[in-house]
Amino acid sequence: MQTSVTVTEFDGGPAIEPDFKNLYEAFQATVARKGESLAIKSEEEGVELTWNDVDKRVRAIAGGLNALGVARGDRVGMLLGARSEFIPIDLAAVSIGALPFSIYQTLAPDQIEYVVEDSGTRLIITEPAYLPNLLEARKNLPGLERVIVLGGEGGDMTMAELEAMDPDFDPAPLAAEVGLDDPLTLIYTSGTTGPPKGVLLTQGNLMSMLTTVMHSVLEIPETGRVISWLPAAHIAERGANYYTPVMHGLEVHVCPDPKRIIEFLPKVRPAWFFAVPRIWEKLKAGLESNLASLPDEQRKKAQAGLQAAIQKVRLEQAGEEVPEELAAGVAAADEALFSNLRVALGFDEALAVSAGAAPTPIEVLEFFHAIGIPVGELWGLSETCGVISINPPSKIKIGTVGPPVPGVEMRVAEDGELLCRSPFVMKEYRGKPEKTAETIVDGWLLTGDIGEIDEEGYITILDRKKELIINAAGKNMSPANIEAQIKVSSPLINQAVTVGDGRPYNVALIVLDPDFAPVWAGQNGIEGSFEDLAGDERIEAAIQAAVEEANSKLARVEQIKKFKLIPGEWLPGGDELTPTMKLKRKPIAEKYETEIEDLYS
């Protein structure tokens, strides 16, 4: 990387004014422009909808909601998995000025109770798989008047009954009353530092962000495809795979299970794809495993080509000249191997490939750049519609999250916290004026992230302000960066948590990968269940080697002195992970207090 001067302020330039005053109006423009083109495809459901089909469905659902008395500003909850009906249901609520929001499918009844009560929701649409938890929560929700079930019964009415109430309803007169200052959705924060907060985003927040990003940063053509695969309650899913396609006419292909995303990529060949770092880490591990299994001569040739390509990426990132001989060797490797890998993975038509939500190890990013898939990190919060900065596909700086997009001003506070001012910043935390006032000060959003900005505006995130480790000697460290280094050191590792605040040295809790670890165990003659693997000496020795490799790339004060393998798997929405797979550090510290203290004894 080139060394650069840091600055304390940077302005990304003006946002592009939206062409429409609300999402429904933008949707109608897409319908008029692309009526009989494919809009949504769900292979699992056997469903293919054109934009005209989506419009017809939206009218029927909006008619039913209107007949039930759902009015402008009313909250409409959705507890749904990835399926073709999500976009029409959400748009139907938007079309009559209601405020739709999604509930994470993994939430327990008491957590569902919290967000439903906090949002003041009177009507929820769900499906049979999630009905038991919702009905349990409903026992303590007297304000929840209706539960509508999609594809089954057990609620107050079925989705089919709702759609039959007024199927030819025209929501346009109601939609015409909705402007840029009106609410569009609620996004509940992941709750890593306390109860989730309802982020209230307006039509103007989202319309401004989507118009600006698609026209000035990513430039994805209307013929492009995206995959809907993340939870709809996640701002990244809503932005990338719902709002953007609706505004710009992209095809949405539904992947019903996030664990199947690698299977869907080559089927769909997306133009734009966003994933959390763990997906990229797993893809890299799988590709390296495949290369290692090639016959000797092919393996040596492939590894030489890969190392040359990584060297070329590093020279380019440093702004140095690439020798002709090296460039020619990489071009030959690309033609013989990398181009085929891109096709096999489904990235041969990708125009923008993004990573976010946590730090992605530099080794992972270099690997994908080397094989011709330039993954660029981006950064954003629910409070900023998911976007603050993006690495533009044409100029990615590895190790940064890119410059602020147009419409975003950045400032670095005295303690290193990054502050943001933008038309993308939320209106408020619903029902929490004190929290809103603590978070937005004099028009500046306190992001909670510590970072630096270089003279070109590229931002480097160091860590979450509340998560920094300050050891017994007063040294500040980023646990997220240490954990990323541990995870990338071995495909055996799925999760890692660094502990060391106020301690003399750092230790780690490590969780095995449920996909790779059993395969590795079988190859090495280790028997037993997945839960048993954490107690096997050979597994522990392999993890020890991985930790030592990670330590070799960390400063001495950052290194892990001891670790503990935790049996089983940590699931999104469980005790250890939020629904968006962020670590719940405080609950982890409390749950595993004995194991942690043993590491310091």
**What does the pLDDT read at residue 481?**
82
How far is Cα 437 from Cα 443, in angstroms, rounded to an integer? 10
- Domain 23-178+221-270 belongs in CATH node 3.40.50.12780: yes
- Average pLDDT, integer, range 475-493: 86
192: confidence class by pLDDT, cuts 50, 70, 90: low
Long-range contacts of 567-572 (CB under 8 A, 24+ apart): 567/531, 567/532, 567/533, 567/534, 567/535, 568/511, 568/530, 568/531, 568/534, 569/494, 569/511, 569/512, 569/514, 569/530, 570/494, 570/495, 570/511, 571/106, 572/104, 572/106
Task: Taking the CA atoms of 297, 300, 306 and 308 in sequence, report the sign of the dihedral they define.
Answer: negative
Residue with the bigger pLDDT between 193 and 342: it is: 342
Among 184-198, 301-315, 332-346, the range scoring the smallest mean pLDDT is 184-198
Can you say how many angstroms the Cα of residue 459 is from the centroid of all Cα atoms in its chain? 19
**What does the pLDDT read at residue 66?**
97
How far is Cα 135 from Cα 155, in angstroms, rounded to an integer? 8
Q: Which residues pair with 199 in a beta bridge?
A: 187, 429
Model confidence over 455-482: pLDDT tens digits?
A: 999 999 987 777 778 777 777 788 888 8
- Between 3.40.50.720, 3.40.630.30, 3.30.300.30, 1.20.1440.60, what CATH number should domain 468-600 receive? 3.30.300.30
What lies within 8 Å, CB to CB, of 328 at 6+ separation is: none
- Average pLDDT, integer, range 291-302: 86
Please state, in angstroms and as integers, the Cα–Cα distance from residue 344 to each residue in 230, 256, 337, 338, 393, following that order.
Answer: 22, 21, 11, 10, 21
- Average pLDDT, integer, range 292-304: 86
Do the Cβ atoms of 65 and 98 come closer than 8 Å?
yes
**What does the pLDDT read at residue 222?**
83
Query: Which tokens belong to 228?
Result: 């809907």
Q: Beta-carbon neighbour count of residue 544 at 10 Å?
A: 12
Model confidence over 242-279: pLDDT tens digits?
A: 999 999 999 999 999 988 999 999 999 999 999 988 88
> What are the domain boundaries of the chain?
6-12+277-465, 23-178+221-270, 468-600
Kindly state the helix (H) or strand (E) to which residue 510 belongs, with its residue range.
strand 506-512
Kindly state the helix (H) or strand (E) to which residue 464 belongs, with its residue range.
strand 459-464
Query: Which tokens belong to 327?
Result: 């460039």
**What does the pLDDT read at residue 582?**
81
| Proportion of the chain above pLDDT 70, given as a percent | 99
Going by DSSP bridges, is the β-strand pair 183-188/198-202 parallel, antiparallel, or unpaired? antiparallel
First-to-last alpha carbon distance for the chain, in angstroms, is 41
Q: What is the CATH number of domain 6-12+277-465?
A: 2.30.38.10
Query: Which tokens belong to 28?
Result: 């109608």
**What does the pLDDT read at residue 289?**
82
The number of C-alpha atoms within 13 Å of 98 and in the hemisphere containing its C-beta is 31
1: confidence class by pLDDT, cuts 50, 70, 90: very low
Q: What is the CA radius of gyration of the chain?
A: 24
Model confidence over 228-240: pLDDT tens digits?
A: 998 899 898 999 9
How far is Cα 283 from Cα 264, in angstroms, rounded to an integer? 13
How far is Cα 176 from Cα 594, in angstroms, rounded to an integer? 59
Q: What angle do CA 46, 51, 55 make, to 5 degrees?
A: 100
How far is Cα 356 from Cα 379, in angstroms, rounded to an integer? 6
- Average pLDDT, integer, range 151-157: 92
Can you say how many angstroms the Cα of residue 281 is from the centroid of all Cα atoms in its chain? 14
How far is Cα 398 from Cα 458, in angstroms, rounded to an integer? 10
Going by DSSP bridges, is the β-strand pair 123-126/146-149 parallel, antiparallel, or unpaired? parallel
**What does the pLDDT read at residue 342?**
94
Can you say how many angstroms the Cα of residue 202 is from the centroid of all Cα atoms in its chain? 21
Residue with the bigger pLDDT between 46 and 282: it is: 46
How far is Cα 392 from Cα 241, in angstroms, rounded to an integer? 19
How far is Cα 115 from Cα 107, in angstroms, rounded to an integer? 10
> Given a cut of 60, is residue 375 above it in pLDDT?
yes
Long-range contacts of 539-542 (CB under 8 A, 24+ apart): 539/492, 539/512, 539/565, 540/565, 542/490, 542/492
How high is the mean pLDDT of the chain?
Answer: 91
Q: What angle do CA 76, 80, 84 make, to 5 degrees?
A: 100
Please state, in angstroms and as integers, the Cα–Cα distance from residue 410 to each residue in 16, 263, 456, 523, following that order.
Answer: 18, 39, 12, 51
Tell me the residue length of the chain: 601
Model confidence over 501-539: pLDDT tens digits?
A: 888 899 999 999 998 899 889 888 988 889 889 889 999
| Proportion of the chain above pLDDT 90, given as a percent | 69
How far is Cα 312 from Cα 327, in angstroms, rounded to an integer? 7
Can you say how many angstroms the Cα of residue 280 is from the centroid of all Cα atoms in its chain? 12
How far is Cα 199 from Cα 429, in angstroms, rounded to an integer? 5
Pick the closest to residue 569 from 581, 586, 551, 585 (CA basis).
581
Among 428-437, 477-486, 535-544, the range scoring the smallest mean pLDDT is 477-486
**What does the pLDDT read at residue 296?**
86
Model confidence over 193-217: pLDDT tens digits?
A: 567 899 999 999 999 999 998 888 8
Task: Taking the CA atoms of 84, 85, 88 and 90 in sequence, report the sign of the dihedral they define.
Answer: negative
191: confidence class by pLDDT, cuts 50, 70, 90: low
The number of C-alpha atoms within 13 Å of 280 and in the hemisphere containing its C-beta is 30
Residue holding tokens 């191997």?
337
Among 217-231, 301-315, 375-389, 399-413, the range scoring the smallest mean pLDDT is 217-231
